[in-house]
Amino acid sequence: MDKPILRDIPESFETERMVIRVPRAGDGPGLNEAVLETFEALHQCMPWAKERPSVQQSEENSRLAYAEFLSRKDLILRLIDKTSGLFVGSSGLHVRDWNIPCFEVGYWCRTRFERQGYITEAVRGILRFGFDTLAARRIEIRCDSTNQRSIRVAQRVGMIREAELRNGLMGMDGTVRNLTLFAMTDQDWQALSNGAGAVRESNGVSSHPPAAG
């Protein structure tokens, strides 16, 4: 394939309730507000959330993330509520292998937007972007096997549970955890897009296609 840096990649797209876009200069104050509101939860699961950031640090984070987008090293995406303009959270497609191409979806949701389906909506939109725009062949979600909320997101969007990696993750508390691996291939995506019904899990258990909304 062409060198990733030569690929033209759209910098934004929309879902029903959100604009999903790349980080930008000037995002610092809004991002900082969202991180501080959600810090206690982020501190328990995100390696980067060790200390509460300043507005300046959040601005630096945004500019560095945009630089990585331009170099195609990482494709971080901000989730912006269309109605309020507030940061809903952050997600993106972390590059695992451009040659396949293969990506991993990560995400966090701002406290005030939790349990309203925003992350499921965002992940569906990002899967569409990954497969239809970036021609991905495989997209993964990896999460702590005790993180039921992340597991439910993967299941709702129709991903296939491929494996549980024993002692595959170091928790933020220093304990070794099991890691659950979900994935979707371009063939799976096409089947879901065509309404082909349930996708088979690797262990033979069916996973239902994503519900509407």
Confidence of residue 196 (pLDDT cuts 50, 70, 90): low
pLDDT at 161 over 80: yes
Average pLDDT on 39-51 reads 91
The answer to whether 179 and 168 have CB atoms below 8 angstroms apart is yes
Mean pLDDT of 11-31: 98
DSSP states along 182-210: EEEEHHHHHHHHTT--PEEPTTS-EEPPP
The residue among 192 and 197 whose pLDDT is bigger is 192
pLDDT greater than 80 at residue 140: yes
Average pLDDT over residues 124-141: 98
Domains of the chain: 4-207 (3.40.630.30)
Residue 203 clears pLDDT 70, i.e. is over it? no
What is the rounded average pLDDT of the residues 154-162?
97
Amino acid identity of residue 211, one-letter, is A
**pLDDT band at 211; cut points 50, 70, 90:** very low
Distance CA 101, CA 25 (A): 28
What does the pLDDT average to over 15-42? 97
Assign 45 a pLDDT band (cuts: 50, 70, 90): confident
- In angstroms, how far is CA 56 from the centroid of its own chain? 24
Structure confidence at residue 1 (pLDDT): 64
Which two three-digit tokens encode residue 117? Answer: 């389906």
C-alpha distances out from residue 88 to 9, 117, 133, 152, 194, Å: 22, 11, 23, 19, 30
Tokens of 77: 């995406």
The pLDDT value recorded for residue 207 is 35
Least Cα distance to 165 among 147, 144, 150, 187 occurs for 144
Q: Would you say 29 and 55 are in contact if contact means Cβ atoms under 8 Å apart? A: yes
Q: Give me the amino acid identity at 141.
A: I
